[in-house]
Homo-oligomer: A and B are copies of this chain.
Amino acid sequence: MKKYLMTPGPTAVPERVLLSQAAQIIHHRTGAYREILGEVIKDLKYVFQTKNDVFILGSSGTGAMEAAVVNLMQRGEKALVVKGGKFGERFGEICEAYGVEIEAMDVEWGDAVSPYEIQKALARDNDIGVVFVTLCETSTGVVNDVASIGRIVKETKAVLVVDAISALGSVEIKTDEWGLDVVVAGSQKGLMIPPGLAFISVNEKAWAKIKANVKENTCLPSYYLNLTKTRESFLKTDHPFTPPVSLVLALKESLAMIKEEGLERVLARHRLLAEAMRAGIKALGLQIYAKSPSDSVTSVKVPASVDGLALVKKMSEEYGITIAGGQGKLKGKIFRIAHMGYADRFDVIIALSSLEMVLKKMGAKVKLGAAVKAAEEILI
């Protein structure tokens, strides 16, 4: 049975990227590697839409989230954490692990955060040093209005940290235009490479805060994730620690693909696929879970008559399609289909086709072909 990976990370890796990893390792402290690293950083800035520093970390996306917390927060300061799903909550967990006081902005799962609420919170509490928000909340399929949040936070002394892990390369993120001080991302999502690399962009406002923390010795402790040390190395087109070389080679290849297609067309493709997916879902009489749905992943409420866990299992075992179920309190209640990174029209068709068949087999009232038809009307 052919296998199709349609989870919101890790995502499918294009063949030419897979093969690029099979090149023999080159030492990272050679001219040959430095040339690759320089090119990769330049291309990452293109995807981040930024002139800011962009660094590569050898970790999962969570490592970059932690890097943002430990470098930006100072002891005794407060963090405003937008919690509207598992990954927003993770920022809170990291802060708590370091003893940082947080003001939690609890958003109903499935809803986007109101930028106005962030504005009010910042006006109310002058101790907030950093705002942590998720662009695409993978666990709920919600996209937040980070452009507006950027405009708001820019007017304050607070620094804005955006988790764009499930967004970069698939959902618009204008780092500089929107005034996003720090943006974190991961490799195994829109960037179409295997997991193992994380990325973080840092602008001048954020550096000013980090430098003040260092100067006043109010930093949280860090070593592997220390951005000051990381910056020193990247200024010399180097890494502070041995980097995952084969993944950097893969990244070079995937960034070449993104440049060939053009970032605008990449993002337009994601919008089209997401629209087709949502039309298909609705044509089956199902409901999109996210009120403000992301173009990288579609979250769908499991119909009352169907066992959500069994649905995900059947998709995989009987049709070879790996999708994701719900996490945490959404377990069994939603399923999530990604159309992120190396995804094209027929991936949407495949996902909807298998969904129709599985739902039918599970006794749901669906008309075979209805979702595919609705999607085709958009994809034509």
Contact = CB atoms under 8 A, between A and B. Distances in A.
Contacts of A24: 3, 5, 12-13, 18
A13 B30 contact: no
A225 interface: yes
A244 interface: yes
A89 interface: no
Given A59-B63, A220-B221, A224-B63, A244 B28 contact: no
A196 B3 contact: no
Contacts of A245: 10, 188, 194-196
Contact of A194 (B3, B10, B59, B244): B244
A243 interface: yes
Given A25-B13, A221-B98, A186 B93 contact: no
Nearest to A14: B24
Interface string A318-330: 0000100000000
A21 interface: yes
A188 B25 contact: yes
A198 to B, nearest CB: 9
Interface in A212-227: 220-226
Q: Determine how many copies of this chain the complex contains.
A: 2
Contacts of A5: 24-27
Contacts of A9: 242
Contacts of A10: 25, 27-28, 242, 245
A241 interface: yes
A246 interface: yes
Contacts of A61: 241-242
Contacts of A23: 18
A21 B94 CA distance: 31
A218 to B, nearest CB: 13
Contacts of A188: 25, 242, 245
A223 B94 contact: yes
Interface residues of A, number: 53
A134 to B, nearest CB: 16
A1 interface: no
A246 B9 CA distance: 14
Nearest to A93: B223
Contacts of A226: 97
B66 A242 contact: no
Given A21-B22, A25-B5, A224-B66, A195 B242 contact: yes
Contacts of A58: 58-60, 63, 195-196
A123 interface: no
A247 B13 contact: no
Contacts of A316: 30
A22 B30 contact: no
Contacts of A378: none
A7 interface: yes
Contacts of A59: 58-59, 63, 224
The 7 closest A-B pairs by CB, nearest first: A196-B244, A194-B246, A60-B241, A21-B21, A97-B223, A98-B221, A18-B22
Given A59-B224, A220-B221, 6 more contacts: A10-B27, A60-B224, A194-B244, A194-B245, A244-B247, A247-B247
7 contacts: A26-B322, A58-B58, A59-B59, A59-B63, A97-B226, A196-B243, A196-B246
Interface of A: 3, 5, 7, 9-13, 18-19, 21-28, 30, 58-63, 66, 93-94, 97-99, 186, 188, 194-196, 220-226, 241-247, 250, 316, 322
